[in-house]
Amino acid sequence: MNTNELINLLTEDAPVRGRLGRVLAIALTAGVAVSAAILLSTLGIRHDIGNAIETVRVLFKLGLTLALAILASIVVFRIGRPGVSLRSGALALLIPLFLLIAAVAIEFFALPSALWRLQMMGHNAAFCLTFIPLLSLPPLIGFLLALRSGAPQRPALAGAAAGLAAGSIAAALYAWHCIDDSPLFIATWYTIAIAAVSAIGAGIGGRYLRW
C-alpha cells in the first residue's frame, strides 16, 4: 500500500475521522470559554477599557491578536485532515506578521529613540510571559485531544499549529487585561509567549499525535 492509498483509507474512516471538524469546534469553544473564565475570575479586564478601546494602539492590539487566533485556528482545523493543503492557511498567517512589523516601524518613527526600550519593556513583561501560556492550556489540551481524532501527517507540525492557535487565543484574551499597548511590547513579549506555547505543542504533538 502506497502513501496515497493510506491517505485515502484514513480519509474514508468516517466513524472517527469524519467528526474531526465537530470535535475541534467543541475543543475551540470549550477552550476559549475556560480560558476566558480564568481571566475574568483572576485578573479581569483592565479598568479603563472603555476609554482605552477608543485608541488606535488598543484597537490594533485587540484586532491583531484576534486575527492571529482565528487564522491559526483555521490551520488547526485543516492540519488534522490528511492530504489537505496548508499553503493558503500558512500564507494567511503572514498577514498579522506584516501588520505587526509595520506597526513597529511606525512606532520607531513616531517615538524618540530614548523611549524605545521603555515601550518595549512595558509594565508587566514577566507577567505576560507567565499568564499567556497559562491561559493557553485549556485550548491547547482541547486541540491536542481533538487532533487525535484526525490523521495529521506531521504530528510535530500539528502540535505546533495547536500551540500557535492556543497561544494566540490566550494572547487575544490577555490583551483585554494588559495595559501595555505598544507594538514594541507586543512584538517582543506576546511573540515570545506564543512561540513558547507553539514549541510546547510541537514537543507534545510529536509523540502524542503520532500514528
Q: Is 44 left (phi over 0), alpha (psi -120 to 50) or beta?
A: left
Report how far residue 68's alpha carbon sits from residue 170's, in angstroms, rounded to the nearest whole number. Answer: 11
Give the per-residue pLDDT at 3: 45
What percentage of the chain exceeds 70 in pLDDT? 90
Domain ranges, ordered by start, for the chain: 17-208
pLDDT tens readout for residues 75-119: 999 887 777 778 888 899 999 999 999 999 999 999 999 999 999
> Virtual CA dihedral for 85, 87, 89, 95, nearest 10 degrees?
-170
What percentage of the chain exceeds 90 in pLDDT? 75
Phi, psi angles (nearest 5°) of residue 112: -65, 150
* Whole-prediction pTM: 0.89
Instruction: Write out the H or E segment, with its range, that includes residue 116.
Output: helix 116-121
pLDDT at 209 over 50: yes
User: Where residue 11 falls among pLDDT bands split at 50, 70, 90?
Assistant: very low
